[in-house]
Structures are given as C-alpha cells and as structure tokens.
Chain A
Amino acid sequence: MTALDNPLILGSRHYGSRLLLGTGRYKDLDQTRRAIQASSAEIVTVTIRRLSSTPGGSGLLPLLSELGCTVLPNTAGCYTAKDAVYTCQLARDLLDGESLCKLEVIGCKETLQPDVRGTLAAAETLVNDGFDVMAYTTDDPLIARELAALGCAAVMPLGAPIGSGLGIQNPLNIARIVETCAVPVLVDAGVGTASHAATAMELGCDAVLMNTAIADAGEPVRMAEAMRHAVIAGRQAWLSGRMPARQYAQASSPPGAL
C-alpha cells in the first residue's frame, strides 16, 4: 500500500498489500519464505490434506506465523460443495478459528474450471456458518454478482485456467465484474508474468492472487519482487485514471519549430 491508497478490506481485516501468494510448488521452505518476503504479501494460501502416517509436520504454518501472514486455507481438489464445506470446517479448526477461506469447487479435472453451481451452494452454506468466503469463480459477471449478493467477502474470477500463465483472457468481463460487484474483486489464476498482474489492477481489481507464476519462474524470489511492483504500478495507474486512448497522434510538445 502507498500513502495515497486505502487498505484492502477482507471480512473485518485491513491489509496494505494487494498481492496474495500461494505456497505450492516452491523448491523448499526457504524459497517459500524468501518469495513471500520479496512479494510483501500479507495473505498466503495453504491447502488442507490428509496427514500421512509419517509424522514430522511440514513446518509451513510455523513459518507463516513467524512472517505474520494471514493464512488463507483453500479447498483445492474439492469437486463437490459438500467436500468444500467439510474442508473449510477442518481448516477453521486447524487454524484456530480462522474465518477466511478460499472456496474452490472444481468441475473438471482437465481445465480445473470452477463448478459455479457447486460454488454458489457451498458459498451460501459457508457464509451462513460465519466464514468470510473468498470465492474462486469463472469470469461470468452474473455469477460473480450472485456470489457477492450471497455475502462472500470477495469474488475471485479466473484470468485464465489455473497454472496456465496465459494472462487475462477476457478483460471485458473482469472489468464488468469490478463494475458490478460491491465486494473486493481479485483475479485468481492465470497470471503468468508481471504485466498480467498490472493489467488486472489496471482493470480495477482490488488485488491479485497467484502461485505458479512465481514458483515456476526461473528465479522465483526475483519474480515475487516483480509482482509486488506490478501490482502497485497497476493499482496506482487505476487510481490515477489513465489518459483517453486516441486514434491519431497528439503532439506533446508545443506546435511550431525553431
């Protein structure tokens, strides 16, 4: 956040950073730590999985606690509303009552496209159960508006398929979602490089959530820093109000010659 900006508000909490990070696919915990620090992210996602018979713990939660991050559990891998709700309930207990959750109900293994009917059903149940739901969804403005109306804390349309790095495929829809949703809008999924993150913010998104774009970069820590700058740049450009685009040239120097 800069001095000229407002905080990002999710549920009842305020955040300065508008970049949210996933913690998957990093080489090790040290790289995870350095990427989070370079990104300045304050909200970091984790996934809930069955504990293997080998004890020892992953060390991830202690790290996130040490870094002072809000831990945002996701429901990745859930294909039904019922499973997603169950996962959130387990996560809330695991994280000492944390009410924020990233809801994903996946409808297709190949595309990882969200199942919007399942997402709406799960969102309603979770909101009624006191969760602050950040709902991963398609870039359909009507579905996003419905999720916001259900009481979700944020709607998170995909820019492109999860892990694809293709960038925002339908900027018109993202802009429309920003225009019509009264809750924070985050692009979640599809960002591949810094300009994609800046584009999301220039479209008026409140924040961007990413994982693979940083973790799969040649130098993840450097890319995390690039994303931090991109999100700030895009946000500042959006707040500034860009100049009108013109069909023809308009000189920036006074007319005439020497």
Chain B
Amino acid sequence: MTAETQSPWITVTVNGDPYRMPAGSRLTDLITRRGLQGERMAIAINRSVIRRTDYPTRRLTHGDAIDIVHAVGGG
C-alpha cells in the first residue's frame, strides 16, 4: 500500500480544483460536502460518466478527477 492510501485523507480534483476528502468517501459524501444535494447535474470521474444510481456506492480514490456539470443558457 502506498502512503496515500494509508492516510486518513485523499485529495481529488473537483472541476479542476484540488479537494480533500476523508479516505473511504463515496460520491454522495462529496455531493453532501459541496451542498449539491438536489441539484440537476451530471458527474464523471476520470472522464467516465457515473450513473446517478451509482452515486451512493462509488468510492473515491486519491487522484480522482471529478467533473460536475449542469446546463446553462447557450446557443
């Protein structure tokens, strides 16, 4: 095991910015911490889209690149 996986914290990136989470966190934990519950959004981890039904079970790992997107006005 690496030093990172033994640490109580992991660092992921959320929309390009580093974000620290407790090791063992799941995607729903991130959503809660960011206050995004109930938002109409889509999420990808490492450019792979995660289905909404998988949010509660998807574990985050150190270095994950997470994109959280929504719809805005545009042509």
Is the Cβ of A47 less than 8 Å from the Cβ of B72? Answer: yes
Instruction: Please tell me if A199 contacts chain B, counting CB pairs below 8 Å.
Output: no
Give min CB distance, B18 to chain A, whole Å. 13
Is A137 among interface residues, defined by CB-CB distance under 8 A?
no
Q: Are A49 and B69 in contact (CB-based, < 8 A)?
A: yes
Distance to closest chain A CB from B48 (angstroms)? 9
Contact with A along B14-57 (1 / 0, CB 8 A): 01100000000000000000111001111010010101100000
Interface size on B, residues (CB 8 A): 23
A26 touches B73 (CB 8 A): yes
15 A–B contacts from the bound complex (CB under 8 Å): A22-B73, A23-B74, A46-B73, A47-B73, A49-B69, A60-B72, A73-B71, A76-B74, A76-B75, A86-B44, A91-B42, A93-B49, A94-B70, A162-B75, A211-B74
When the two chains form their complex, are residues A45 and B15 in contact, meaning their CB atoms are under 8 A apart? no
The answer to whether B73 touches A61, judged by C-beta atoms less than 8 angstroms apart, is no
Given A55-B36, A57-B39, A45–B74 Cβ distance below 8 Å? yes
Q: When the two chains form their complex, are residues B74 and A90 in contact, meaning their CB atoms are under 8 A apart?
A: no
A74 within 8 A of B: yes
Evaluate whether A51 and B69 lie within 8 angstroms (CB atoms) in the complex, with A90-B42, A90-B49, A93-B49 already known: yes
Are A61 and B40 interface neighbours, CB within 8 A? yes
**What is the size category of the interface that chain A forms with chain B?**
35 or more
Interface centre among B16, B36, B39, B40 (most CB of A within 10 A): B40
A93: which B residues are within 8 A, CB to CB? 42, 49, 51-52
Inter-subunit contact A47/B71 (CB<8 Å): yes
Q: Which residues of B contact A46 (CB under 8 A)?
A: 71-74
Mark each residue of chain A from 159 to 182: 1 if its CB lies under 8 Å from any CB of chain B, else 0.
000100000000000000000000
Knowing A51-B15, A51-B39, A53-B34 are in contact, say whether A71-B71 is a contact too (CB < 8 A): yes
A48 at the binding interface (Cβ < 8 Å): yes
Interface pairs A-B: 4 shortest CB-CB: A22-B75, A47-B74, A211-B75, A94-B42
**Using Cβ atoms and an 8 Å threshold, which residues of chain B touch A162?**
75
Q: Is the CB of A60 within 8 A of B67?
A: no
Is residue A117 within 8 Å, beta carbon to beta carbon, of the partner chain?
no
- Is the C-beta of A32 less than 8 angstroms from some C-beta in chain B? yes
The answer to whether A25 and B73 touch (CB under 8 A), given A53-B34, A55-B34, A90-B49, is yes
Q: Tell me, rounded to whole Å, the shortest Cβ–Cβ distance linking B46 to chain A.
A: 11
Q: Return chain A residues, CB-CB under 8 Å to B36.
A: 51, 55
- Kindly identify which residue among B35, B52, B68, B73 contacts A50, using a CB–CB cutoff of 8 Å: B68
| B17, chain A: closest CB distance, angstroms | 8
- A24 on the interface (CB 8 Å rule)? yes
- Tell me the A37-59 residues at the B interface (CB within 8 Å): 45-51, 53, 55, 57-58
Tell me the bound Cα distance from A62 to B68 in angstroms: 19
Task: Determine whether A210 belongs to the interface, using a CB cutoff of 8 Å to chain B.
Answer: yes
| B71 with A32: CB separation less than 8 A | no
**CA distance in complex: A76, B74 (Å):** 8
Contact in complex: A23, B69 (CB < 8 Å) = no
**Nearest CB in chain A: distance from B49 CB, A:** 5
